[in-house]
Structure 1
Amino acid sequence: MVEWIRDGLNREAILYAERFGRCLAGRDPDQKRYSALTTSQIRNIYGEVERMRMKGFDLSAMLLLKPRLTYATSRNATDGSKDFNKVFIRAIDAILEAKEESEQAQRFERFADFFEAVLAYHRAYGGK
């Protein structure tokens, strides 16, 4: 997943987003007992990502996204929220690994696109 943030989204990334979104919605047939992630748990984080997108990349806001994400997902520590936190913390770290701000901004755009895809599939599979 980190390579998609570094190098760009591809078909495999979108398939992963679909499987992950379905899993987070509690609709993965391979998961017998999985407590789903609610849309409200991630709405504030997604809203912050969209605000950053509109304003342009801001390193300070990106750094603060990690603790906000952790707080939002730990308030109701479901399996889905724990998995969501793990995946997106890794994605944020992939953004921050870039040395140049211009590269961080490009990675942020890929991150935002990936986040949007996961959220869309989460909702499509009945995420509430």
Structure 2
Amino acid sequence: MSNPRSERPTGDHLASELAPQQTLQLIITENTTESTQELIKVAETIGRHLARHVTTSQIRNIFGTVRAIEQDVKMSDDDEQLPLHVQRELQMLRPKLAYQYGRVQGRDDAPDKAAIGALTKILSDAIRLVGADTRRFRNFVDFFEAILAYHRRYGGRTN
């Protein structure tokens, strides 16, 4: 007889199911038809899963910061490096994501905690892949925006 609790995935495990590292790398680092198709497919899968377990305000809190950072990059060419202050702001999203994860009560394998943990891991890994590359940053913004859109499409929780 197995314990159903022990079979529930944690955020890290769920992240690797929703957005395997190789797929995430394709989405963030490439600018091809294939990478765009993967972005849409993976964002829909993530958004659908998050809709049941993550509130809109939890996602929008982070996305609002990304939009503010994006304003500093708007006029940059894709082949330019991100300004240092933008790189810093982007990297500082990782602790902000960790804070959001820490605020969710319960065990690491509880569905709501695992979902926010998966989002934290996926976005943190994507941020690492961006580095100082402006084009990669734009791919990251597109990916995050698509996740948010699908979260809404699938009836994302409002509280």
Where on the TM-score scale, by shorter chain, does this alignment land: which range?
0.7 to 0.9
1:91 aligns with 2:114: no
Amino acid at match of 1:39: T
> How far apart are 1:73 and its partner, in Å?
2.6
TM-score, normalising length: structure 2: 0.67
Cα distance in 2 between the residues matched to 1:71 and 1:2: 25
Gaps of 5+ in 2: 1-23, 74-81, 106-112
The range that moved more, 47-56 or 67-76, is: 67-76
Cα distance in 1 between the residues matched to 2:101 and 2:56: 11
Query: Partner residue of 1:75?
Result: 103
Amino acid at match of 1:123: R
Who wins on radius of gyration, i.e. which is larger?
Answer: 2
Cα distance in 2 between the residues matched to 1:54 and 1:61: 12
**Identity, % of aligned positions:** 38
Gaps of 5+ in 1: 27-35
Instruction: Give 4+ residue runs of structure 1 displaced > 6 Å after superposition.
Output: none
Query: Partner residue of 2:38?
Result: 12
The SS at the match of 1:127 is coil
- The alignment's C-alpha RMSD in Å is 1.3
The counterpart of 1:48, out of the listed 65, 76, 79, is: 65
Amino acid at match of 2:128: D
The range that moved more, 116-125 or 75-84, is: 75-84
Cα distance in 2 between the residues matched to 1:19 and 1:59: 28
> How far apart are 1:2 and its partner, in Å?
1.9
Cα distance in 1 between the residues matched to 2:26 and 2:141: 14
The SS at the match of 2:115 is helix
Query: Partner residue of 2:87?
Result: 59
- Say whether the 8 Å CA contact 1:21–1:120 is kept in structure 2: yes
TM-score, normalising length: structure 1: 0.82
Cα distance in 1 between the residues matched to 2:92 and 2:148: 20
CA deviations on 1:24-60 (whole Å, 9 max, x unpaired) are: 112xxxxxxxxx0111112221000000111224111
